Amino acid sequence: MKKTSKEKLEITNKDSLRRRHAGNYIPIDNGECYLLPYEVHLRKQPLEFFEQLSDYDFLKSSATGAALTFAGLQEELRCLENRESGIGFWKNFNESALNRYLNPILGRTEKNQGWKQVYIKKSKEADADKPHHDDMLRCIYLFAHLHKASPSFIRQLALENDAWSTDLRVYYPRKDFSFSEEYAGYLSELYANMLFQQPENIRRLIKCLDVCIEKLIQHADSDWITHFLKHRSEDTDPPSLKILKYNQIASITHFSELNKYLQDKITGPFAQNSFAKLEANEKNPSGLQIAATAQQYKLVAALCMRIPLPSPLREINGSWVSEGTDPIAYQDMKLCINAVANALAADALNQLKIESDGTKSGKRDTSISAAVKKLAEQNPQSIEEALRIGSPDFASVPELYSFYLRKRSEYAIAKARSPEGLKASVLPNMPPTPKAVIKSMQQNPNIRRVLDYIRGNNLNQISSDIEKLEFDLMMSCLKEKGYSKVGLIYQYVLQSLPPRV
């Protein structure tokens, strides 16, 4: 066994991989938002750690390594073979994972123009002919170890338009579902390795690309944005960054599918006394058996009010204030929380059920009420503290339910807007009417324009466009309001994150 293989062999064991990526995220204020636990670990390592790595490892500086070859990579991966079975690792890996799933991820669909033909140098080709030769070999080296840990990983990575996949992501995986944490470890390994040598602007863009896409779709018709959506630039990105870019694009398609599923689930009727009826039901021995208490529903309603705001709320002069947003008067916040509590209570009394088809680990998702109970128990126990926290902890709750809560809240607040109730100026970034909430869940016609822009530009061009947009918006806000607002895409503030351990 090669000494240079030991570091990556850690991730071929699922338990070791979980331990490597366990721990809390570290908030940073460079627009990247946070560092993954393993990224923090890597930044503390001495030079000797990197010197002993394989030349095919992303973590090792390419300036100090020898020339990389395809034959050399295959030799390096011999340590992954199962000598007892007699089945060579490379043949199975190449056919089942790389050709079938990596080609679509990299946009290589024609048989004679797959990843190997496009990126790997032949004997007489120079660096200028295949500038991403080394990067491609490093991608395969990393994928090989991840494939050894789980042959389903690259297949899952290649999926698009899969509502179930919203539970599988690098940030805040579900705690109650083992494959979710495992898959988050695989993604964390990709992000930590592939971004390690990248400049700050690319790290920032990749980590925030899902938010970037969402915001561009939302504001695509704005004069600030519509002009640069026409930009097209040369294909200069290495395959490693294309893989991360694909993962973020796929994430958007998964949530689009989830929106489609929940559209008719968040519009149920409710009244101003729905929460009171839930309280009365709780005191009635013969009433409906609901897992969460009425008070837990009210607490989760407050958590739902914390979700759309960029930073913790503070109490100032009779208002709740979140940095970068307009103050919300105490009475208006109370109206918002009551509206959401009434909507959630009505759904509980009407026994609304939403279920996924079941997870890959074989168990069905929990009920809405059980999810509400879990959220109430793992977050602050008072409404005031729920508003003051950095971020609500939704890690143990399937995305199906956290997304339902978010959209149901938007619908309830939109219904509460009236001359006698909630003013239109409160939470202006939320959809203003119930119809607008439903429209926000439908396939936005701008999504194709934005994804064409994302796919049609290299990351340096996209980064340049977004950085200029952020600067222009900041200067406009400074000129009009006398202060610079938190960015549209990048959040240049330290975020208080819920613990993961």
Residue 12 CA to residue 302 CA, distance in Å, equals 42
State the pTM of this model. 0.86
- Cβ-contact 29, 492 below 8 angstroms: yes
DSSP run (H or E) holding 319: strand 319-322
- Cβ-contact 38, 188 below 8 angstroms: yes
pLDDT for res 110: 64
Residue 345 CA to residue 282 CA, distance in Å, equals 11
pLDDT for res 74: 92
Q: What is the number of other CB atoms lying within 10 angstroms of the CB of residue 323?
A: 14
Q: Check the CA dihedral 327-330-335-336 and report its sign.
A: positive
Using alpha carbons, list the distances in angstroms from residue 413 to 17, 298, 331, 370: 42, 14, 14, 23
> pLDDT 10s digit of each residue in the chain, 501 long?
344 458 899 999 989 998 999 999 998 888 888 899 999 999 999 999 999 999 999 999 876 667 899 999 999 998 888 766 656 788 889 888 898 999 999 998 766 588 999 999 988 888 889 999 999 999 999 999 999 999 999 999 999 998 888 888 888 888 777 788 899 999 999 999 999 999 999 999 999 999 999 999 989 999 999 999 999 999 999 999 999 999 999 999 999 999 999 999 999 999 999 999 999 999 998 999 999 999 999 999 999 999 888 788 999 999 999 887 889 999 999 999 999 999 999 999 999 998 766 555 545 667 899 999 999 999 998 999 999 988 888 888 888 899 999 999 999 999 999 877 888 888 888 899 999 999 989 988 999 999 999 999 999 999 999 999 988 888 887 777 766 666 778 877 677 777 777
Crossing angle of the two packed helices 446-455 and 239-262, in degrees rounded to 10:
170
User: Which residue carries 């796929």 as its tokens?
Assistant: 250
At a CB cut-off of 8 Å and minimum separation 6, what does 266 contact? 404, 407, 408, 410, 411, 437, 441
- Cβ-contact 444, 256 below 8 angstroms: no
pLDDT for res 2: 44
The token pair that represents 143 in the structure block = 């994928």
pLDDT for res 85: 61
pLDDT for res 433: 93
Residue 19 CA to residue 78 CA, distance in Å, equals 25
Residue count of the chain: 501
Residue 196 CA to residue 199 CA, distance in Å, equals 9
Using alpha carbons, list the distances in angstroms from residue 492 to 31, 325, 450: 5, 14, 24
Using alpha carbons, list the distances in angstroms from residue 444 to 71, 94, 210, 255, 403: 47, 38, 15, 12, 18
3-class state of residue 35 by DSSP: strand
- Cβ-contact 301, 337 below 8 angstroms: yes
Q: How far apart are the first and last CA of the chain?
A: 34
User: Which residue carries 């407050």 as its tokens?
Assistant: 302
Residue 297 CA to residue 304 CA, distance in Å, equals 10
- Could you tell me what percentage of the chain is helix, strand and coil, using 3-state DSSP and rounding each to the nearest 5? 55, 5, 40
DSSP run (H or E) holding 413: helix 399-416
